[in-house]
Amino acid sequence: MSNSILLQTLAGEKTERPPFWFMRQAGRVLPSYMKLKEKHSFWEMMQKPELGADVTLLPINDLGVDAAILFSDILVIPYAMGMGLEFTDRGPEFDVPLSERANPLEVLNPQPDKLQYIYEVIKQIMAKKPAHIPLIGFCGAPLTVLSYMLEGIGRSKDFPVTTTYLYQNKEMVKKIVEAITELSIIYAKEQVKNGIKVFQLFETHGGLIPWDLYQELFIPAVKKIAQAVRETGTPFIYFPKGIGAGIQDITPDMCDFLSIDWQTPMETARKWVDSSIGLQGNIDPRLLYADQKTIENKLNQYIDFGSKNHDWIINLGHGFLPDIPYENAKFLADWIKAADWKR
Ligand code: CP3
């Protein structure tokens, strides 16, 4: 039996409390991160192995989480495909949006070697991390990655250029998705070789298009990435944010655990999602703007679900937001550990 409560839950074992980690646990709410950010750029923190490892491990001490997630970004894949990328104060920006290219395939030149620095970060994390804390690896899912590539920058939450492009250039989209998927698979397998023990696929923009169109254009890629990761024996978590009733169509060949967004109640998710798939989620990160009494009242409503469901990882329904008070993030982490889960 593993000595990690997260790996135990992923393996279907019973534990005294649900394990937890938080999306964007390293890069947003921690005062220790803000301090490093004064001295180092985001790229620098991601690319220097010592620094990348230190940032990855910050939430273990500062929040007491049950797992670390690699400090990197989903946009390293388009970068390794030859797109010029900068992280600015307004967010990530590509030099030329793919939608403005007459033939996007001509400018894409996937170079797996351009991801090598990330494996050096993982090696450092392995050398430094506590034995009972597993490392989670990740990449972006094809629609989310594609939407930044086409748009160039996340100017509008609706990604209007992307949605129009999908309807006008379906065959081209399929080819770009194939290229993203191929590189993502190489990347995921290298992460596993270097020591990650869990993999999460982030489809933050899953709700951008109708579910049937998503199924047609993107689910084949999700299945391929899932299969490649699971062949290595690594549990696979899929986070398709905003797909609503689409969670009823998630099948066991797509993931081991499904991460539920804050829109869908956990009880509904448990009724709708195939019973062989575990669940993760789904605290609204904005709850953490409230006072601690309000936060606690809401958290207490999760006890009933947690007492009945052992195949559940507590997480947020989307990542921490930058201005959430650290004290409230810590309050949440401490509450999870101290609660009587009635198991
Ligand atoms: O805890 C962590 O932060 C883990 C590492 C991580 C980052 N991005 C670091 C980051 C992870 C898992 C991601 C995933 C990611 N990146 C997603 C999917 C999950 C989600 O949050 O929706 C998406 C859509 C991106 C793309 C991206 N990268 C955006 C939109 C931005 C700008 C705004 C922001 O802060 O999210 C980034 C930059 C980014 N990625 C930062 C960090 C720490 C901010 C850099 C800084 O500190 O200035």
- Amino acid identity of 32? S
Ligand 1 pocket test target in 23, 24, 136 with most atoms within 8 Å of CB: 24
Given this model, what pLDDT does residue 334 score?
98
Given this model, what pLDDT does residue 289 score?
98
Given this model, what pLDDT does residue 269 score?
98
Q: Which atom of ligand 1 is nearest to the CA of 22?
A: 1
- Ligand 1 mean position, distance from CA 24 (Å): 7
Does ligand 1 have an atom closer than 6 angstroms to the CB of 87? yes
CB 94 within 8 A of CB 153: yes
Does ligand 1 have an atom closer than 6 angstroms to the CB of 86? no
Nearest C-alpha to atom 11 of ligand 1 is from which residue? 73
Q: Helix 49-62 and helix 31-39: axis angle, to 10°? A: 160
- Ligand 1 mean position, distance from CA 341 (Å): 32
Q: Is 312 helix (H, G, I), strand (E, B) or coil?
A: strand
Per-residue pLDDT of the chain (343 residues; tens, 9 = 90+): 789 999 999 999 999 999 999 999 998 999 999 999 999 999 999 999 999 999 999 999 999 999 999 999 999 999 999 999 999 888 899 999 999 999 999 999 999 999 999 999 999 999 999 999 999 999 999 999 999 999 998 777 889 999 999 999 999 999 999 999 999 999 999 999 999 999 999 999 999 999 999 999 999 999 999 999 999 999 999 999 999 999 999 999 999 999 999 999 999 999 999 999 999 999 999 999 999 999 999 999 999 999 999 999 999 999 999 999 999 999 999 999 999 999 9
Residue 224 CB burial class (10 angstroms; 0-12, 13-18, ≥19): middle
Does ligand 1 have an atom closer than 6 angstroms to the CB of 316? no
Q: Which atom of ligand 1 is nearest to the CA of 26?
A: 1
The verdict on whether omega for the bond into residue 282 sits within 30 degrees of 0, i.e. cis, is yes
Round to whole Å and give the CA distance between 249 and 16. Answer: 31
Q: Which residue has the tokens 């049950």?
A: 66
Round to whole Å and give the CA distance between 162 and 316. Answer: 26
Domain residue spans of the chain: 5-338
Question: Which CATH number does 5-338 carry?
Answer: 3.20.20.210
Angstrom distances, CA of residue 234 to CA of 89, 138, 181, 216: 35, 12, 18, 26
- Ligand 1 mean position, distance from CA 231 (Å): 28
Q: Which residue has the tokens 């972006």?
A: 140
Given this model, what pLDDT does residue 243 score?
98
Does ligand 1 have an atom closer than 6 angstroms to the CB of 204? yes
- Ligand 1 mean position, distance from CA 15 (Å): 31
Round to whole Å and give the CA distance between 318 and 137. Answer: 17
- Amino acid identity of 236? F
Does ligand 1 have an atom closer than 6 angstroms to the CB of 25? yes
- Ligand 1 mean position, distance from CA 339 (Å): 30
